[in-house]
Amino acid sequence: MNVVTSLAELRAARALLEEPVGIVPTMGFLHPGHLSLVRRAGIECASVVVSIFVNPIQFGPNEDLATYPRDLPQDLAMLGDEHVALVWTPTSDVMYPPGFQTWVTVEALTERLEGAERPGHFRGVTTVVTKLFTGVQPQRAYFGQKDAQQATVIRQMTRDLNFPIDIVICPTVREPDGLAMSSRNAYLDPVERRSATVLFRALERAQAAFTQGERDAETLRNVVSAVITQEPLADLQYVSCADCDTLLELHGHTDRALLSVAVRVGRVRLIDNVILTAN
């Protein structure tokens, strides 16, 4: 497993990789959710590239850039046990050298949900993912369903900018009690950790109602928020029952939807989602 930092090293190492190449973009502090992407890429691609970069431009001024968990030695040890050909660990100076001034922006899809709560976040994501794509030149790229809006935005960007890359979205990996795996779960103290299961409990309750025939979007949102407001440590930021492609909020009867929530548990902001589908 080759580990490179500079763009020149990356290009030289990339040129030697057997194709198709799959990329798994990460911000490090890897968990089984990341590894599920790495393994899926390993099945579908001749070579797997993992990038590890805590991307400063996708954090807002009041967000957790400084405290975001990092552990590169452990990340590399975990990846060393997988079929990974190349790890790219660029520094901020490699990604954003002095004078950097080019941005990639997706418009409509980023206006709601996480985009509304975190202004500038998706601009940072789409800009860095563009640079990962042009740097690594993969044939496939792997992202998690847990960040559902990010997946939709990156799919749109890839299509809009003609990148010849298949975007593969992999299922959310969960702890035994249902909490979606996330590097940010490391922020939770034991009491908060127990409360944090409320996101998936609420989504499961709505999923069950949907399975039993409930099709009204507003009712499904209410099922989620009713569960979350019963949890004392949880502060609901939004609950959304939206079109899976446009992310526009649904009203009335729906046979297919992205049901998503954002909740603060203590000072930790968590998101989760399920896709409701009648088939």
Angle at 32 between CA 153 and CA 143, to 5 degrees: 15
* Single-letter amino acid code for the residue at 37: L
Site for its own copies in 186-225 (CB under 8 A): none
Compute how many other C-beta atoms are within 10 angstroms of the C-beta atom of residue 63: 14
Task: Report CA dihedral (253, 196, 129, 168) to the nearest 10 degrees.
Answer: -60
Q: Which residues pair with 141 in a beta bridge?
A: 23, 167
Evaluate the omega torsion of the peptide bond into residue 69 and state whether it is cis, within 30 degrees of 0. Answer: no
Closest distance to its own copies from the beta carbon of 163 (Å): 5
Task: Name which of 104 and 186 has its Cβ closer to its own copies.
Answer: 104
CB 49 within 8 A of CB 17: yes
161 binds its own copies (CB under 8 A): yes
Task: Name which of 38 and 109 has its Cβ closer to its own copies.
Answer: 109
Q: Rg of the Cα trace of the chain?
A: 19
Closest by alpha carbon to 13, among 139, 137, 155, 154?
137
- State the Cα–Cα distance between residues 76 and 94, nearest whole angstrom: 20
Q: What is the sign of the dihedral through the CA atoms of 95, 98, 104 and 105?
A: positive
Site for its own copies in 110-149 (CB under 8 A): 126, 130-131, 134-135, 137
23 binds its own copies (CB under 8 A): no
Closest distance to its own copies from the beta carbon of 71 (Å): 26
Task: Name which of 158 and 185 has its Cβ closer to its own copies.
Answer: 158
Task: Name which of 157 and 241 has its Cβ closer to its own copies.
Answer: 157
- State the Cα–Cα distance between residues 221 and 7, nearest whole angstrom: 45
Binding residues for its own copies, how many (CB under 8 A)?
A: 26
Q: Which residues of 175-210 are buried (b: 16+ CB within 10 A; e: fewer)?
A: beeebbbbbbbebbeeebbebbbbbbbbbebbbebb
Closest distance to its own copies from the beta carbon of 67 (Å): 28
Considering only residues 43, 62, 98, 162, which one is a binding residue for its own copies as defined by CB under 8 A? 162
**31 counts as catalytic:** no
φ and ψ at residue 24, rounded to 5 degrees:
-120, 100
Task: Name which of 61 and 164 has its Cβ closer to its own copies.
Answer: 164
Closest distance to its own copies from the beta carbon of 243 (Å): 12
Closest distance to its own copies from the beta carbon of 134 (Å): 4
Q: Which is the catalytic residue, given 31, 34, 83, 121?
A: 34
- State the Cα–Cα distance between residues 263 and 234, nearest whole angstrom: 6
Only one of the segments 138-146, 154-162, 191-199, 265-273 lies at the binding site for its own copies (rule: CB under 8 A); that segment is 154-162
Site for its own copies in 73-112 (CB under 8 A): 99-109
Q: 208 — alpha (psi -120 to 50), left (phi > 0) or beta?
A: alpha
Closest distance to its own copies from the beta carbon of 90 (Å): 10
Only one of the segments 70-78, 158-166, 197-205, 267-275 lies at the binding site for its own copies (rule: CB under 8 A); that segment is 158-166
Task: Name which of 25 and 135 has its Cβ closer to its own copies.
Answer: 135
Q: Which residues are catalytic?
A: 34
Residues that bind its own copies (CB under 8 A): 7, 11, 99-109, 126, 130-131, 134-135, 137, 156-157, 160-164
